[in-house]
Amino acid sequence: MVHSFKYILIGGGVSAGYAAREFVKQGVHPGELAIISKEAVAPYERPALSKAYLFPESPARLPGFHTCVGSGGERLLPEWYSEKGIQLYLSTEIVSADLAAKFLKSANGEHFEYHILIIATGSSVIRLTDFGVQGADAKHIYYLREIDDADKLYEAIKQKKNGKVVIVGGGYIGLELSAVMKLNNLDVCMVYPEPWCMPRLFTAGIAAFYEGYYAHKGIKIIKGTVAVGFTSDANGEVKEVKLKDGRVLESDIVVVGVGGRPLIGLFKGQVEEEKGGIKTDSFFKSSVPDVYAVGDVATFPMKIYNEMRRVEHVDHARKSAEHAVKAIFAADEGTSVEEYDYLPFFYSRSFNLSWQFYGDNVGETVLFGDSSPTSENPKFGTYWIKDGKIVGAFLESGTPEENKAIANLSRVQPPADSLDQLAKEGITFACKI
């Protein structure tokens, strides 16, 4: 059986929902667009899974966080897609793609033809079993990427009340899950090999606050080592985590968050790649005619820094999807849209904390504000200075106005005459720009 569509989007994550909304805004006709997802549910805001979905009281559940509610927009329920004439193929995994023939095949033998393809397959989690880590296939070792993963983890939390949890990894997933596990009254220990948490973004000064804050909440942190093996009990459930430094940690639940990989295997050898992703132009067109790539899988020209980059974050997933759809319709009409001009943006929330970062984290740094982990109302930030200009800014516990100010500052890149003066003025400096 062959299904034919003018537009097919492969992937059912955040990008899919935002692309669908933009297709409707641009006037897509009923029956022209299909979204193919291996997940069983309509597109949703993935960040909820490591936060509110696992709360001990009033946890978030669908349909509450379907896209596009995460950016303050309309919530696109499954029926919205059918009302707009968009065909959702859920629980459908594409197993082969022939981009030259414009042809896709699913695991259950369905064939799909398209005129224009948008690749929005996102990332897959890196698993310890990929590296042959001993015992990594034991029960109650979890990864978090999709709603099915979150459901299994939620059940384990209920089953292992007051139990011991080891979080492997000190990035986004590690920090957010450690916080939510503590809220569930579990005994939490984080393990990561780096000298401090979130090393790709945080400076030592920023990380010192969060590590101190988490320790104050009763979360144990072990740095500079990795999990090299697991032991399990007679039921096959994880019992211990063996560390490279020789320590052994008791554990009822293990959650691994050590990064992801762009899911581009289907298209290997068919599209040009760069920096681990599919190389695109400023409109997310790939090297293959009529094939676009958005979100995690796209390596695109970042105009502000004049270099090719790949960005794994929900904000870019949303914006790149919308931009690609606008570009597709403009090309169809013989017009054009502006080049994608993205300012890197990252954020996270845990406990009563909430930080935002904009720009680039390169060059010298200035730490300002109250970054004491035991402070009742901590509020602090960091500026990054390169070639005499401020190129990036981080702020914990900022107001909406202050967060807008650091975004503006990171785009404008004003000169930084005195680092001492910057440290003294702190957030006030950004608010003056």
Q: Are 346 and 355 in contact (CB under 8 A)?
A: no
Q: Is the pLDDT of residue 117 over 90?
A: yes
Q: What is the pLDDT of residue 103?
A: 97
Average pLDDT over all residues of the chain: 97
In order of start, what are the domains of the chain with their CATH numbers? 2-124+261-332 (3.50.50.60), 128-258 (3.50.50.60), 352-432 (3.30.390.30)
Task: Write down how long the chain is.
Answer: 433
Per-residue pLDDT tens over the stretch 359-371: 999 999 999 999 9
Model confidence at 124: pLDDT above 90 = yes
Quote the CA–CA distance of 224 and 193 in Å, as a whole number.
4
Task: Answer whether 0.85 is exceeded by the pTM.
Answer: yes
pLDDT in tens, 210-241: 999 999 999 999 999 999 999 999 999 999 99
Q: Where are the beta strands (DSSP E) in 63-186?
A: 87-89, 94-98, 103-106, 111-119, 123-125, 141-142, 164-168
Cα–Cα distance, 379 to 427 (Å, whole number)? 10
Place of tokens 């490279």: 244
Q: Is the pLDDT score of 320 beyond 90? A: yes
Which one-letter DSSP state was computed for residue 134?
B
- Does position 204 have pLDDT exceeding 90, yes or no? yes
The pLDDT of residue 216: 96
The string of pLDDT tens digits covering residues 377-428 is 999 999 999 999 999 999 999 999 999 999 999 999 999 989 999 999 999 9
Residue 146 clears pLDDT 90, i.e. is over it = yes
- Rounded to an integer, what distance in angstroms lies between the CA atom of residue 420 and that of residue 433? 18
Q: What angle do CA 242, 250, 254 make, to 5 degrees?
A: 75
pLDDT at 1 > cutoff 90:
no
Give the full edge-to-edge strand order of the sheet including 345-350: 345-350, 353-359, 389-396, 379-386, 364-370
Residue 377: per-residue pLDDT: 93
For residue 11, give the nearest of 302, 328, 275, 320 by alpha carbon: 320
Q: How much of the chain exceeds pLDDT 90, in percent?
A: 99
pLDDT digits (tens, 9 = 90+) for 240-272: 999 999 999 999 999 999 999 999 999 999 999
CB 324 within 8 A of CB 284: yes
| Res. 193: pLDDT tops 90 | yes
Measuring CA to CA, which residue among 345, 368, 407, 371 is closest to residue 430?
A: 407
Give me the pLDDT at residue 153, please.
Answer: 97
pLDDT band for position 289 (cuts 50, 70, 90): very high
Distance, CA of 62 to CA of 60 (rounded, Å): 7
Q: How far apart are CA 112 and CA 285, in angstroms?
A: 20
Q: What is the mean pLDDT of residues 22-40?
A: 98
Residue 286 confidence (pLDDT): 98
pLDDT score, position 295:
98
Measure the CA–CA gap between 63 and 52, rounded to whole angstroms.
Answer: 13
Query: What is the mean pLDDT of the segment spanning 51-75?
Result: 96
Can you tell me the mean pLDDT for 142-166? 97
Confidence category of residue 327, pLDDT binned at 50, 70, 90: very high
Burial (0-12, 13-18, 19+ Cβ within 10 Å), 304: middle
